[in-house]
Chains A and B, each alone.
Chain A
Amino acid sequence: MENNGLSRKSNNKKHHRRIAEGILVLLFTLVLACGFVLSLCLPLRPSVSENEKRELSPFPAFSFKALFDGSYFHGIDLWFSDTFPLRESIIAVNSRIQSLHGIGNVQIKGNLEQGDDIPDAPLSTTEPPSDLALQTTATEPPTTAKEPEDDPDVPRESFDSFLLYGTGGYDYYNFRKDMANRYIGLINRTAAGSNAALYSMVVPISTDIILPESVKKSINSSDQKKASEYLYGSMAPDVKTIPVYDSLMAHRNEYIYFRTDHHWTALGAYYCYVEWAKVKGVEPVPLSKYEKVTYDGFLGSFYAATNKNAGMKKNPDYVDAYKPFNNVSMRIRDKKGNEFGNKVLTDVSTWSASSKYLTFIGGDNPYTVIENKDLTDGSSCIVVKESYANAFVPFLIPHYQTIHVVDFRYWSGNVVSFAKEKNIDDILYLNNISVTRSEPLIKRMEKVSG
């Protein structure tokens, strides 16, 4: 009896085991087969990633050289995994899984760098530091009209490192003395070389303004107030510096920075515009005079860089834009050299969640010119900028007949000669503080500056 029972049990066991093994082999074969078929569904393969704002790796071009040095096969590997069907949804799933890795509503993304100590005293102007001496115009390569090949085209969607605090991203700012000095140098040279008045506005990023004092103190990010003071204090006396740190700090409880994106909001830009007006000596236009448009559901660069953080998705940003009340026209020259007219504020309500900031002045273009037809005094300015200024520029419209906006990352002219040629009154360098620590950006800005 007992023997019988045991052997039946043992048969039973073997039986179950065999079934399980059979099912496993079958399912694994199925997974491979599905993967095989799916990965060959070429129309399902995306060619751009909207989230990462980049073109995905294309299928490599064949050449015998590429075949023999291995780059052809390597290219196929890249193309294959980079454009895998359903990649965006799959990446979102990965991000969900990764959120299980640990605890804390604070996360560090990217590789941390160490900032330099910010000098207490401004850079002495009588004795140029060695960094500046290297930057004489003689050593610069001759500027050519065509687009430079080492165009950094800085993808601001990738960060060296940033902090995820709650549902907001906060970019680290690590002061770099050599780069700060080069920034100061290019501003001073432009001021000296041009008859126009030079205004400098260095905008802090949200890290210093928005984060609670306790977090701000403990993170390894340089003090932006001290850095701004160093930058401003080292600029030549005729440069009109616009102190904006304290004003933004005073309004820190308002919606002046995005959480899912590294930019400021138009409201943040407005408060700095008020400071600009004070320095310029003009009456700022009250915000109430503007009609406000709101675009909901903005998920910006931090959202992309966290691979679609679920918390951010639940609490997206919104973009407020303030409609110009003047009779204006705007023309853009884009990166391909096409010229066309565009509204100052584009209607982005149907655009993707990542594109809402593009409502301002048509996004980042090498050259944009805005005419205020209500003015005939011939007043004009140049704004030398990266994307931060986009939300700011519309507020300048009531004050100038012509506003030239140049994005130094793509524009290949020269600010000083351009100002002379167009008989410009004011030059405004409007940059977020991260620019002053970035070598490729500074290098590019030096090329277009005095």
Chain B
Amino acid sequence: MVFSNLFFLYIFLPLNLLFYSLAKTIPAKNAVMLVFSLFFYAWGEPKYVLLLVGMVFADWIFALLIENSANKKTARFWLVLACIVNLGSIGIFKYGTFIAANLKALTGYPAVIPAIALPIGISFYTFQILSYVIDVYRGEVKAQRNFAHLLMYVSLFHQCIAGPIVRYSDVSAEIIKRQTNIPQISAGITRFAVGLAKKALLANTCGLIADAAWLTDSAAAEAGNLAANSAVLASRPAAFLWLGALAFALQIYLDFSAYSDMAIGMGLMIGFHYKENFLYPYTANSVSHFWRLWHISLSSFFRDYVYFPLGGSRRGLARTVFNLFIVWLLTGLWHGASWNFVLWGLYFFVFIAAEKVFLAGVLKKLPKVFGHIYTLTVVLFSWVLFRFRQLPLGWLVFKGMFALNKNPFTSFETKTMWLNYIFFLAVAIIAVTPLVKKISDYFASPKVAATVPGIIINYARIPAVILSVILSTFALVGNSYNPFLYFQF
């Protein structure tokens, strides 16, 4: 199940909220959330729900063993074992096929490449539970004695399958004690509606445009069609490929951040406060800055559990660059078991390392606008690498954007497509900036809120939110294009 699914919206969520409000005590409410969450997970992965429960069980034991260790050495032993189990599971289920295929290409063995299905959300929930065990080892949080509590935290349907990667330390207190009140529920509803509209009204349409310009993901992934796909992409006019780049850049942000918005919104509805996962990343003025605003729960995970333990930037320039290399190699790999993701991660490594070494200094001296242009350009081309698992296709698109495939600059169809979506694209671009939020915050500020315009805007939010929900619902009826992109990771 995904959040932008009518069954979720009108059956699962209403029942969840109903039972939640009928349950009077926090233990009862937690029980409701646990049952619903396991059902939610099983809906998409009936078998692998056992893997999820098993992993949480193992880590529950590991954390207790770590906490009860007589000395640091034993604790360290249990931690290493926990890492082996967690990373081993993700290694098998996420990278097993990839590793086997590459081994076969190099050595000829194994003869048969195992086809292992990727359990939904494994990359997200493994990181959540791993951060918990490490935090217990570091003494930053106390081990959770109640297994059901820990299981609820990891499996919570708000974030279990597509983030944000919520740290145990951020919600441990709220598992036992949390409050709901009308202002918070109302804020949660607003946030949820914003996410739903971003997904159903904007991201899905961006996806259609991107697919039209850049081939659908499934068509491009078909290894047997490489020649045909290359021929199609090589003949695409440059302006059409740019349209695809713009649409995909918009789609991936709107899609992914929409999921986080909805998760944060649903959290607020029942008293959980998850950290922000996106802070308008396309407004960044450097690539390092971009990654402090994009998928924050992932980049901060790598920062806290890989970069800092390796010494961060405190061990000299060479070591810093090496540490960055490791972090970005892992970030790339985390996104998928495919070489294009590895290259995608290393692509960012190059720019971030360059910024560490000299580029940040150069950018500081230049007017701010250069930093923005530079960042957007780097990020835009990164999506070409990200999108095409078959590198030759990505390379063709990159060249084609500069008309280097002997492709024309534009065509009748290209002009038509741009015109057909011109207003839509303008709205989508506004939606990736903080403009609407800034206007809304202005009218809610103490000075303005009491004035007539402030009061009007205050009430105008109501129909805006309700209308977004209804229009999003409409857009989801009979819509065949509706996957969340970050599901595959």
Interface residues of A (CB under 8 A from B): 9-10, 12-13, 16-18, 20-25, 27-29, 31-33, 35-36, 38-39, 67-70, 73, 76-77, 80-82, 84, 87, 90-91, 93-94, 97-98, 100-104, 106-108, 110-114, 163, 215, 218-220
Within 8 A of A (CB), among B179-232: 182-183, 185-186, 189-190, 193, 205, 211-212, 215-216, 231-232
In the bound complex, how far is the Cα of B46 from the Cα of A73, in angstroms? 9
16 A-B residue pairs with Cβ-Cβ distance under 8 Å, sorted by A, are A13-B446, A13-B455, A22-B186, A24-B186, A28-B465, A35-B14, A39-B10, A70-B43, A73-B1, A73-B42, A80-B6, A101-B420, A103-B420, A106-B419, A112-B413, A220-B411
Which one, B60-68, B126-134, B275-283, B469-477, is touching chain A?
B469-477
Neighbouring A residues of B113 by C-beta, 8 Å? none
Q: Is the CB of A108 within 8 A of B461?
A: no
B416 CB to closest chain A CB, in angstroms? 5
Q: Is the CB of B186 within 8 A of A106?
A: no
Q: Is the CB of B7 within 8 A of A81?
A: yes
- Give the nearest-CB partner of A220 in chain B: B413
Q: Mark B146-189, 1 if CB is under 8 A from A, else 0.
A: 00000000000000000000000000000000000011011001
Q: Is the CB of A101 within 8 A of B477?
A: no
Within 8 A of A (CB), among B434-489: 446, 449-450, 454-455, 458-459, 461-462, 465-466, 469-471, 473-479
A183 CB to closest chain B CB, in angstroms? 20
Q: Is the CB of B474 within 8 A of A104?
A: no
Which one, B334-342, B358-366, B390-398, B421-429, is touching chain A?
B421-429
Give which listed residue, A24, A98, A111, contacts B189 with CB less than 8 A. A24
Give which listed residue, B42, B185, B418, contacts A25 with CB less than 8 A. B185
Neighbouring A residues of B186 by C-beta, 8 Å? 20-22, 24-25
Q: Is the CB of A215 within 8 A of B412?
A: yes
Q: Is the CB of B211 within 8 A of A111?
A: yes
- Give the nearest-CB partner of B240 in chain A: A112
Q: Is the CB of B182 within 8 A of A21?
A: yes
Is residue B5 contacting chain A, with contact meaning CB distance below 8 A? yes
In the bound complex, how far is the Cα of B475 from the Cα of A27, in angstroms? 20
In the bound complex, how far is the Cα of B211 from the Cα of A212, in angstroms? 29
A437 CB to closest chain B CB, in angstroms? 14
Give which listed residue, B5, B416, B454, B455, contacts A77 with CB less than 8 A. B5
In the bound complex, how far is the Cα of B413 from the Cα of A12, in angstroms? 56
Q: Which of B411, B412, B422 has the most CB of A within 10 A?
A: B412
- Give the nearest-CB partner of B412 in chain A: A218
Known: A20-B462, A39-B10, A114-B235. A91 touches B469 (CB 8 A): no
Neighbouring B residues of A36 by C-beta, 8 Å? 10-11, 14-15
B472 CB to closest chain A CB, in angstroms? 11
Is residue B99 contacting chain A, with contact meaning CB distance below 8 A? no
A216 CB to closest chain B CB, in angstroms? 10
Neighbouring B residues of A33 by C-beta, 8 Å? 14
In the bound complex, how far is the Cα of B182 from the Cα of A114, in angstroms? 56
Other contacts beyond A36-B14, A100-B424, A102-B423: 9, CB < 8 A: A17-B449, A28-B193, A32-B17, A70-B47, A77-B7, A90-B477, A102-B418, A104-B416, A218-B411
Neighbouring B residues of A35 by C-beta, 8 Å? 9-10, 14, 473
B105 CB to closest chain A CB, in angstroms? 30
In the bound complex, how far is the Cα of B422 from the Cα of A163, in angstroms? 17
Q: Is the CB of A102 within 8 A of B424?
A: yes
- Give the nearest-CB partner of B185 in chain A: A25
In the bound complex, how far is the Cα of B216 from the Cα of A22, in angstroms? 44
Is residue B83 contacting chain A, with contact meaning CB distance below 8 A? no
Q: Is the CB of B461 within 8 A of A24?
A: yes
A215 CB to closest chain B CB, in angstroms? 7
- Give the nearest-CB partner of A34 in chain B: B10
Neighbouring B residues of A73 by C-beta, 8 Å? 1, 42-44, 46
Is residue B45 contacting chain A, with contact meaning CB distance below 8 A? yes
Neighbouring A residues of B469 by C-beta, 8 Å? 28, 31
In the bound complex, how far is the Cα of B42 from the Cα of A39, in angstroms? 22
B125 CB to closest chain A CB, in angstroms? 17
B306 CB to closest chain A CB, in angstroms? 33
Is residue B141 contacting chain A, with contact meaning CB distance below 8 A? no
A67 CB to closest chain B CB, in angstroms? 6
Give which listed residue, B232, B420, B449, B475, contacts A94 with CB less than 8 A. B475
Neighbouring A residues of B412 by C-beta, 8 Å? 215, 218-220
Q: Is the CB of A39 within 8 A of B413?
A: no
In the bound complex, how far is the Cα of B269 from the Cα of A5, in angstroms? 34
Neighbouring A residues of B411 by C-beta, 8 Å? 218, 220
In the bound complex, how far is the Cα of B231 from the Cα of A98, in angstroms? 31
Known: A24-B186, A68-B46, A84-B6. A102 touches B420 (CB 8 A): yes
Known: A28-B465, A81-B5, A91-B477. A68 touches B47 (CB 8 A): yes
Q: Is the CB of B423 within 8 A of A103?
A: yes
Is residue B13 contacting chain A, with contact meaning CB distance below 8 A? yes
Q: Is the CB of A76 within 8 A of B14?
A: no
Within 8 A of A (CB), among B13-72: 13-15, 17, 42-47
